[in-house]
Amino acid sequence: MNVYFDNAATTKVREEAIDAMARVMREDYGNPSSTHYSGRYASAVLEGARAKVATALGADPDEITFTSGGTESDNWAILGVAEAASHHGKPRKGKHIITSSVEHDAVLSPIKKLESEGWDVTYLTPAISTGDIPSGAFNDALRDDTVLVSLMLVNNETGNINPINVYSSIIKRRRLDAILHTDAVQGFCKIPFTAGSLGADLISVSAHKIHGPKGAGALYIRKGVKLPPMLLGGAQEHGRRAGTEALPAIAGFGEAAYHANVERETTYESARSLAQYIQNQIRHELPDAVFLGVGGESPYIVSFSLPGYKSEVLMNALEGDGVCVSNSAACKKGARSRVLEAMSYSDDIIDGALRVSLSRYNTPEEAEYFVKSLVKAAKRLIKAR
């Protein structure tokens, strides 16, 4: 049996999205900016996809700008806010940024770039027990000169959920002008939220985490937020992002968002059931296992460790049985998890960590097969520890 349990890295593209993409490439292949009939047909596809993504996010279509994915959306949000807050290199509002030590590299890298240019950055540390950023620590970090807050909704390694709506309320209660950005790539169409319920000014989402194609994403920009374009050279995306839109990928994104939104509750319950089964079986069969960041996590991600084992060895054994899991974010290419380091786990727990991430296509039979393969690997490798 082949079991794909690495859906936090990417997901299988659903047939409806593939059909939409193929239709655009075969039929509606015009440039959406062209004024002739072919361009108008393509423009209708573009705006239809925008409406579907907006509906799934609980936003207005004109608040959605398409990008190449979560990384671009994150970079644009962070660097754009910094640019907007400065005038000819001189800050107008301040130079303070709040983020966390467990953000995705697509957030931390541009922030570290700004830090090297003189911005003051506060890196919040997650609670060891739950993995989220405590609201009290967030409140203490806020300053009158805070320009930007960037905190992820769902952690891509542990599945821990941050209370973005609480952070938003704190900012509003203190009447601060700080812009709140959240990387919601692992939460979009998975856990229940809308742009309004989060209260964030900027929200990054991606297609390939919800059974859409790679190469498409979006940035929600709340009405009233001024964000300078990162790409120049055209009036596409209402002047926010130059360059001919990747219409096939965007059409697939729209279709994936539509179906994921419709199926959200049933898929959530399916993932929750599978996650509970996996956790319960591992606890029973491997009592030394440690579950990471337990409490308030997304059911789509199960993060645990078998202390004393090496995750790479376990992954290789599982792959031999046709099972795909990971030990950290895919962009780390197997490197040691800095997220778990930031959460103050011991070396033996970090080195034995595995991440199981689920999707709508996973089944109870796959979950049972995975646990059996994991137990078999642990027993076979016990002498090699």
Give me the active site residues, please: 331
Are 270 and 35 a contacting pair, CB within 8 Å?
no
Give buried/exposed letters for 316-353 (b at 16+ CB in 10 A, else e).
ebbeebebbbbbbbeeeeeeebbbbebbebeebbbbbb
- Name the E strands within 49-183: 64-67, 86-87, 90-91, 96-100, 120-124, 146-150, 179-183
Nearest to 57 by CA among 187, 194, 153, 180: 194
* Cβ contacts of 151 within 8 Å, gap of 6 or more: 98, 99, 100, 103, 124, 133, 138, 162, 164, 167, 180, 181, 182
Are 247 and 28 a contacting pair, CB within 8 Å?
yes
| Residue located via tokens 């966390």 | 100
- Name the E strands within 71-194: 86-87, 90-91, 96-100, 120-124, 146-150, 179-183
* Cβ contacts of 160 within 8 Å, gap of 6 or more: 126, 130, 131, 132, 154, 293, 295, 296, 297, 298
Nearest to 330 by CA among 208, 188, 163: 208
φ/ψ of 375, rounded to 5, equals -65, -45
